[in-house]
Structure 1
Amino acid sequence: MPQKAPQVFGAILSLAVLVIYAVLLGAGIYNAFVNPDVTYTDNSLQAANLVTGLVGSVVAVGLALKSPPEDRDGDGRLRRNVTALSRMVAPQRASVTVQEVVGWAYLIVWLIIGLAAFLVAVTRTQVPELVFNTGWTWLGTAVVAAYSFFGIEQG
């Protein structure tokens, strides 16, 4: 097996999970407005819960990891934490640019889809279960990610 094969496979898998998350939940959010009575199969709900948990966990853990310390304030903190997230989801031997694009993609897609699902869940009277579950799961994961990002420790 070539040396780069596991890294390429890992990158493809990371991006595939992110695309599935964006498409499946983006469609669910869209349906909340167009067809709020839509029902999803148990398999669709399980898939949505799985990718929501995976993407949210990757972001929370990635933000908890620390890349080499630079500046602990402002842009330095954001860059440091996204760099750590990038190294987790992109191949280690990939260029820094590729790593950063994948890391930023994870963070931005997770924020947009999750926040949208949460806002739909709390502002609409009829919300598909898929979107409702995602919104509240995202909120819990966002709290953990914020603790990780800001380095908040209890005690």
Structure 2
Amino acid sequence: MQRIFGGVISVILLGVYVHLITVAVEVVNCGGAPNCTVFNDGMAQAFSVIGGLVSALVIAELAIAKPGEAPGARVLDSGASVGAVRTVTIVSVAFVLVWIGAGLTAFMVGLYHPKGLPVLTTHGQAWLGLAVSAAYAYFGLSPGGR
């Protein structure tokens, strides 16, 4: 039950993260028109905190997972059913892919509109560094090739 609850909380945080990136992109694309969506200070703070939490979870899971193994598979007991393994694999891979898509969106929008919404630009740049760290952790790479 504890693992299910933790997974549900993680997915909810990812949903809020994606929502905040979507709103931020709408604000940038709106360009300050009168009927523009607002991205207030509370949203900016939540975006920073939740983005950090989601990224930390992805990096931690990828650092623990063996290359080629689905992130999150370690939470299952050795006698887990095929359905449980399949479910955890699908959810964890989808989680990482959504994190990659959302972060890449933040990076690309911030790249083309760096002054549109500074919190989005900053997050996108930080995400790129975190994504590289996650890849290094998952594939067991080191900067010097050792």
User: TM-score normalised to the size of structure 2?
Assistant: 0.79
Whether the 8 Å contact between 1:21 and 1:52 is mirrored in structure 2 is yes
Higher relative contact order (CA 8 A, sep 6+): 1
Name which of 66, 78, 89 aligns with 1:100. 89
Pairing of 1:1-150 with structure 2 (within 5 A):
4=1, 6-35=2-31, 40-67=39-66, 77=67, 79-80=68-69, 83=70, 85-87=71-73, 92=76, 95-150=84-139
> Which residue identity lines up with residue 113 of structure 2 in the other structure?
R
- In angstroms, what is the RMSD of aligned CA positions? 2.3
Whether the 8 Å contact between 2:114 and 2:121 is mirrored in structure 1 is no
Whether the 8 Å contact between 1:86 and 1:103 is mirrored in structure 2 is yes
Equivalent-residue separation in structure 2 for 1:8 and 1:113 (angstroms): 24
> Which residue identity lines up with residue 11 of structure 2 in the other structure?
L
Return 5+ residue gaps in structure 1 as ranges.
68-76
Output one character per residue of 1:65-116: Cα deviation in whole Å (capped at 9) or x when no partner. Answer: 134xxxxxxxxx3x31xx1x2237xx63680121112211211111111111
Identity among equivalent pairs (%): 28
> Which residue identity lines up with residue 106 of structure 1 in the other structure?
F
Equivalent-residue separation in structure 1 for 2:128 and 2:87 (angstroms): 28
- Go from structure 1 to structure 2 and tell me whether the alpha carbon gap of 1:9 and 1:125 turns closer, same or farther (over 3 Å shift): closer
How many residue pairs were aligned? 136
User: TM-score normalised to the size of structure 1?
Assistant: 0.75
Return 5+ residue gaps in structure 2 as ranges.
none
Equivalent-residue separation in structure 1 for 2:54 and 2:114 (angstroms): 27
Output one character per residue of 1:107-133: Cα deviation in whole Å (capped at 9) or x when no partner. Answer: 111111111111111112532133112
Output one character per residue of 1:9-29: Cα deviation in whole Å (capped at 9) or x when no partner. Answer: 212111111111111112212
